[in-house]
Chains A and B, each alone.
Chain A
Amino acid sequence: MKRFFCVICVLAALSGCAATGTHPDDPYEGFNRAMFSFNEGLDTVVKPVAEGYETLTPLPIRVVIGNFFGNIGDVWISVNNFLQGKVEAGFSDIGRVLVNSTFGFCGIFDFASEMGLEKHSEDFGQTLGVWGVESGPYFFWPIIGPRTARDTFGWGVDFAVDPVRRIRHDNATRNTLIGVRTIEGRARLLQAEKVLDSASFDKYNTIRNMYLNGRAAAIKDED
């Protein structure tokens, strides 16, 4: 995976020589569109698996799977809330992890939400944004998709601290968890994608707009 990250860095450096974009928010549009096509190609394999998962798995089971990974994610969300100075939200996230890990049977039930401890969505890119780091140019990366320069670095930190990836003694469990999480995440996007397809004239363009505006809103907690 480290090698993969290096390849991305080299690609980015190379594409830097040939700024092709006409859109002010998208100086590397040529590179980005090429990577977008690459990901759309990958998605012809991933999407059917996600659709199969959605058709074959009953909704309650999908909710349980989503909650399980959501509970693991809440730990890092809590840290980011503290880093952003949102102490109350940080404690609320800790409360969520404690309640859901115990009463929620290892996180498969989200009792904390029922108790009024709402789920948040934070990552290190948002934390950097709150600290005043500029977003930098927009990129569309292979596999991970849209990220600004700041959010690419943020993603690297999120990736490095990912608890699932740190399971070292049992490769089979780790890879299964990563696989299921990926498919579950892709399945979540299926419905939104239908709306996006009907709403957009140029999918690449629409995703860029939604990403840049959505991230700006998320940093101000207006999403």
Chain B
Amino acid sequence: MMKSLCLELLLPFFMLFPSVPAFADDLLVFAEEAPDALVKRVTDEVLEIVRQDKDIQSGNTKKILELVEAKVFPHFDFAHMTALAVGRDWSRATPDQKKRLADEFHILLVRTYSNALTAYRDQSIRYRALKRAPEDTEVLVRTEILQPGSKPITLNYSLEKHDDGWKVFDVAVAGVSLVGNYRDAFSTEVRANGIDGLLKMLVDKNKQLEASQK
């Protein structure tokens, strides 16, 4: 009773303030984080951890892998990435093969991403303005790695809208796509040894990387 009375008394005040709708907008954005905000939040979080963790800076593989897996990769869509990397042959794979390919590709990318992260030495990141129409379901979030004495390196994320938020499906460093990088090697293998050959190639590569990074 008391509660509703309070509300009734206070409501006119709220309505006086034009900022109330804006506040409601903020709530809405929070419920569905914008793609550029997502990239910035995750990047800032991860780099803050790297800056403070001496183990990671000295190249502790296990810790870096855990960080990437916990903070970065929940926002990646591996099925989409694998489909793009495999190209036309993706449609020939069974659902089971697709899942196993995506799982192996995931493991490979964790290794690659972790290697890149150990190279981080206090460079700052610049976030470029996002060009996006409200109805877009795919966007490119453009960032730059700044380092004195060198030209800034572009680092662009391609994201797609999902029901549970935006997911990254490609990363391009200095104009070179990460997913596209695998396309040649994957299609050559599929042509020679089929989908199972590609799966075996990924499994072997991951085993080899695991052995060398211990």
Question: What does the 1/0 interface line of B119-161 toward A look like (CB < 8 Å)?
Answer: 1000000000000000000000000000011111110000000
- Contact A209 B181, CB 8 Å, known A120-B151, A201-B201, A214-B176: yes
CB <8 Å contact, A205 and B119: no
Number of A-B contacts (CB under 8 A): 76
B41 within 8 A of A: no
A176 within 8 A of B: no
Interface of A is mostly: helix
Q: How many residues of B contact A (CB 8 A)?
A: 28
Most buried by B among A70, A209, A216: A209
CB <8 Å contact, A119 and B175: no
B89 to A: closest C-beta gap in Å? 16
B202 to A: closest C-beta gap in Å? 9
- Contact A222 B149, CB 8 Å, known A195-B116, A213-B180: no
- Contact A194 B181, CB 8 Å, known A209-B176, A210-B176, A223-B153: no
A44 within 8 A of B: no
Among A67, A114, A198, A218, the residue within 8 A (CB) of B111 is: A198
Chain A positions within 8 Å of B178 at CB level: 199
Within 8 A of B (CB), among A153-192: 191-192
Which residue of chain B is the closest to A71 with respect to CB atoms?
A: B149
CB <8 Å contact, A213 and B115: no
A113 within 8 A of B: yes
Question: What does the 1/0 interface line of B159-194 toward A look like (CB < 8 Å)?
Answer: 000000000000000111110111011000100000
